[in-house]
Amino acid sequence: MYAILDIETTGGKYNEEGITEIAIYKFDGHNIVDQFSSLVNPEKPIQPFVINLTGINNEMLRHAPKFYEVAKRIIEITDGCIMVAHNALFDNRILTTEFDRLGYHFNKETLCTVELAKKLIPDMPSYSLGKLVRALGIPLSDRHRAQGDAKATVALFKMLLAKDTSKEIITETLRKNPKRQLEPKLLDIIEKTPSEIGVYYMHNEAGNIIYIGKSKNIKKRLMQHFTGDNRKSKKIQLDVKSVTFEKTGNELISLLKESEEIKQNKPLFNRALRRTLFTYQLTSFVDENGYINLKIEKADGRKKAITTFSNFQQAKSSLFRITDENKLCQKLTGLQSGGKSCFNYSLKECYGACINKESSEDYNARVMAFLEKNSYENQNMLIIDRGREIDERSVILIENGVYKGYGFYNLNYQINNPEILKSIINPMQNNRDVQHIIQNYLRKNKVLKTVNLSTNTVN
């Protein structure tokens, strides 16, 4: 649990500032579960430059509660939380000083979104809160007011959690705050997880990730893990001490996150997914008569693949569909051997390439149209689908046939700005596994839309 806060002060000498406004959002890593904000009477005048910056003046604070009157609420909402702030050192020092004046020892572990952003989003022109969130497409109202800045910090921290594919933030959180770990009883762990789609992470007592999985229903999947009686399930049940999770809003993001993070974190119990995900591929060649032939063959990294398949039956079924949809010849797609003409020619669904009745130019034009539509090579596109919330969408970026990563954006923001688009994308490794995941998913499922960046057309 996190207490994400922002404080405005009077300005003045070091350790002599007074708090003029405070806002705190209690955040469970996914949603805001509690919040508190208030003006505070600092019992001292505000520096003129601070009045100009925040708009808060001495008259506004005349009847505001003094710090000791809001101290109990601050203690309550931050209890058991790690404190998160943009420049956390400053906010922690101000709070600690105020509580010291009351004779109360206020001590919290902290996370600083400035430091996290520099690590997870390097090379930004500025890491000031206003300029950073603007560059990332995060809404910010009431700049230099506690509530507006704290709310923007919540959105920033949520984005940083998503970008942290190595899970260092979560692991460090569990280590810093072990008393807040979930009880080792498996039913207690299940109770804390949602019946939603996403990726889940099992941690051992040290906070290290021992298993990563994805599911359309995280709670249901954990129930299967914790009631299984096979050897692997029993080992997991003994070692797991807590489970964290990330909602993804759709299955494609879950598949991509799972693949990337297993490769990156190498959890003890994820050996199966370290192997390649596909066993067959579709390739093409030109025969002696000049016709482009399609062929299913076993996966071979040395050969260029049009698309890949998990097994031979999936490959064969897909090739039958490709042949029918594009009016291709079953003999030239390797689905029929022997005889003069193919079966589809007798049904008038093949124009006779198998008996040289259709010219290679006409036939190859349809094959090339299929290849251009289904090959990643030189493609620039966005795949847009449901997000984690109603007002959010997910986006996957492919540039020049290379998978760049995924991100989430609010519907109030347009993503046609290249700089904002690139800043919200969580960079990911491009490999044949992720290409297989994306192509396989798009073959079987519908997404909200795809945007061709080259022509700016939407499908």
Under DSSP, is residue 231 helix (H, G, I), strand (E, B) or coil? helix
Could you give the 3-state DSSP secondary structure of residue 75?
A: helix
Q: Please state which CATH class domain 2-163 belongs to.
A: alpha beta
Show me where the domains of the chain are located.
2-163, 168-274, 280-370, 381-458
Token pair for 290: 């000049």
What pLDDT is attached to residue 229?
76
* pLDDT at site 202: 93
Asked whether 309 and 318 are in contact (CB, 8 A), the reply is: yes
| 83: region left, alpha or beta (phi > 0 left; psi from -120 to 50 alpha) | beta
Type of residue numbered 346: S
Give all strands (DSSP E) within 249-358, no chain letters. Answer: 280-286, 292-298, 307-309
Query: How far apart (Å, rounded) are the C-alpha atoms in residues 350 and 348?
Result: 5
Cα 443 from Cα 334, distance rounded (Å): 20
Q: For 281-303, give the DSSP string.
A: EEEEEE-TTSPEEEEEEE--TTS
CA gap 126, 433 in Å, rounded: 35
Is it true that domain 168-274 has CATH number 3.40.50.460? no
Cβ contact 401:378 at 8 Å:
yes
- As a whole number of angstroms, the longest Cα–Cα distance in the chain is 97
Of 289, 295, 251, 248, give the one whose Cα is nearest residue 437: 251
| pLDDT on residue 38 | 92
* Angle, vertex CA 158, rays to CA 420 and CA 450, nearest 5: 45
**The two structure tokens encoding residue 149:** 């800045």
* Chain centroid, CA 165 distance in Å: 9
Tell me what pLDDT residue 458 has: 45
In contact, 257 and 206? CB cutoff 8 Å: no
Helix, strand or coil for residue 414? coil
Q: Give per-residue pLDDT as tens, 301-313.
A: 677 777 888 888 8
Q: Are 434 and 428 in contact (CB under 8 A)?
A: yes
For the chain, list residues with pLDDT below 50. 179-183, 457-458
pLDDT for res 436: 82
Q: Which pLDDT does position 180 carry in this prediction?
A: 45
d(CA 393, CA 409): 6
204 CB neighbour count, 10 Å cutoff: 17
- pLDDT confidence of residue 72: 93
Q: What confidence score (pLDDT) does residue 376 get?
A: 62
> Which token pair is 342?
């193919």
d(CA 283, CA 296) in angstroms, rounded, equals: 7
